[in-house]
Structure 1
């Protein structure tokens, strides 16, 4: 269990804790990182501002309707933090019971949101995490694979891209190509790339965005037709392809991610309309080791292979899951 899940324990019956009201009230659903989740999120937000119990009830009503499951096929449900048995590993408990211990805070609010936005990805994360716990137990360190899974769960961006030159620019820290010279690639018409926020800790940080806020981009090679689909179809495709890659890539590593400063994404922050915004080398840094680029490339290949299998009719697990929370 993550240490963060030892904090803020509650039964679901108490009133809103100090400071939580301002946190939930601060969610601006018009922001591009929150907007894809606004329909459900606004309803949950109203419940969260009422009480802990109201929020859990709203989450469980949605879980019941969706009939989603966790990493080992257990029906998804949300429980108060105090219902997690003493000594139980957080991920293992979710996998074996379907019950997600949830606190009355923004961190767990956004975590729960991802169970509905990308249920298969969450399932894959939970399945891999719980399998690693079964094998190695819960020790002072997670190990490389669990570290990568946790990084994904907490801080990932899904970078969907149909132009290999743009993926290469991201891997190579070529910010001027990716974010300035090819701004047209991010447009509504003729788009070649886009980003979905996934990491719930990243979403929590974006309540009060700052220039250096950086996500870990998981590069997903998508077909050109992807950008002709509606948002729901694109998200379903990403959910299928990325979950398969997470399940089938044995040697997961943090080097498979490429850092991407969130406020640099074209259209996501007014100040980046000025080219000088990208001159800040403390945020838009120069490149890193070649092996990191190789790792990112392997991640993209794994997603592409999984997507191809999905197109040929292979089944993915119809389930949901989460990282260390």
Structure 2
């Protein structure tokens, strides 16, 4: 879906207009998008970005890849994006706009910018949580055929325009019954809360390690790079 919109941007010369046209066209998995895209200049001075989206149902959009991918996230995952916006606004109502966002808003931003959504067998998920990379990518490699991984975060997508081995996603596990994007959008949106995200319910995944996503990872030694595929931290408990 991104390529036709990118071509439309080149014709119209403005990302908001191209994204708005996409919300009006039929495409697989099409669902209502609860916002319109507007130029960044429409955001009033001093107004919080998330509060403006909530109040106006309009998303300020700059030209460039970062906000282009944010627009695609709204088109593919309107329920998740709307849920994140509502959670941000609820936190703003509690704490106001402060120089330091706090753990809840930090977690919401992390999800929005860098999350990937994963439906995976239990064995593979547990190995990923444990950062047992040899097991994740070599021993359990056949299980990736039964795994769905969808990149959600718009900053994550922007980084992958120029791929490098160290790019790592924060992976949020979706329900096993989420067989399509629409199901995943509904289930994940319904599962999100500020408290849950602040607990950091993520697994870390260097995305170029995913089988089939990067030619070099066909060789098992690809995963021997400990600067990227880092071991899990061990907790040391001191005797009192």
- The normalised TM-score by structure 1 is 0.67
- Equivalent residue number for residue 110 of structure 1: 69
Structure scoring higher RCO (CA < 8 A, sep ≥ 6) equals 1
Match of 1:218 in 2: 172
1:309 maps to which residue? none
Give me the whole-angstrom Cα distance separating, in 1, the residues matched to 2:94 and 2:107: 17
Cα separation, 1, equivalents of 2:50 and 2:98 = 14
- d(CA) in 2 for partners of 1:218 and 1:286? 20
Gaps of 5+ in 2: 26-30, 236-240
Aligned residues: 230
Alignment of 1:156-305 (within 5 A): 156-161=115-120, 163-187=121-145, 191=146, 193-223=147-177, 229=179, 234-247=180-193, 250-253=195-198, 255-288=200-233
Residue 64 of structure 1: CA displacement? 4.5
C-alpha displacement of 1:82: 0.7
Does the alignment pair 1:47 with 2:8?
A: yes
Q: Does 1:84 align with 2:40?
A: no
C-alpha distance in 1, partners of 2:166/2:196? 29
In structure 2, C-alpha distance between the alignment counterparts of 1:277 and 1:244, rounded to whole Å: 37
Q: For each residue in 1:155-177, what CA deviation from the matched residue of structure 2 results, as whole angstroms up to 9, or x when unmatched? A: 0011111x211111011001111
Q: Report the aligned-residue RMSD.
A: 1.7
- The structure-2 alpha-carbon separation of the partners of 1:77 and 1:289, relative to structure 1 and needing over 3 Å to count, comes to farther
Does structure 2 retain, via aligned residues, the 8 Å contact 1:151–1:254? no
**What are the Cα deviations for residues 280-306 of structure 1, in whole angstroms up to 9, with x where unaligned?**
00000001366xxxxxxxxxxxxxxxx
TM-score, structure 2 as length reference? 0.90
Residue segments in structure 1 that go unaligned for 5+ positions in a row: 1-39, 70-75, 291-325
1:152 and 2:98 equivalent?
A: no
Query: Where in structure 1 do 4 or more consecutive aligned residues deviate above 6 Å?
Result: none
- Distance in 2, matches of 1:127 and 1:209, equals 32
Contact 1:218 1:256 in 2 (8 A): yes
- What residue number does 2:33 align with? 68
